[in-house]
Structure 1
């Protein structure tokens, strides 16, 4: 099930929550040229997941949910333009576990 929060998509699949940019956010920030992930293993809602430098802005991406970071899309560090891809298998930032399901359910439907 896919939801929206803070201009991000959150896709839940078997207890893993994948966070990616919405097309609107991709358009607003422009072409991403640099991605720097934060080192936290756990995040609270609003904590920065990554810093993006794009053609239109520099942005700390806030987490729409609290949880444990279980995977980062490290391919973005070598090819940050993947964040501008329409392909969900390439344009994700991080994957979270141990997320409060009720907090996820409160996000807007995608």
Structure 2
């Protein structure tokens, strides 16, 4: 069985499309940050669930690189925050290695 996990929220993975993540965030902090003009430029809590394509489609490789960097330092999904392992399974899901 494979478990893909991103703590504290899936939004840690979304944030990695824009920048490296090295510290823990609260859900409120993530929503506030992702609502800024440099990210989604709208109330992210209302946007969440809509299509992300125009915002992050061309940034997937950045997210993979940022996630790999974090994973080298924090790879214990139970104790580490932030943590994500989504990048490990993307090649299998999309049948490609480069994004």
Greater relative contact order (CA < 8 Å, ≥ 6 in sequence)? 2
Higher strand share: 1
Q: TM-score, normalised by structure 1?
A: 0.28
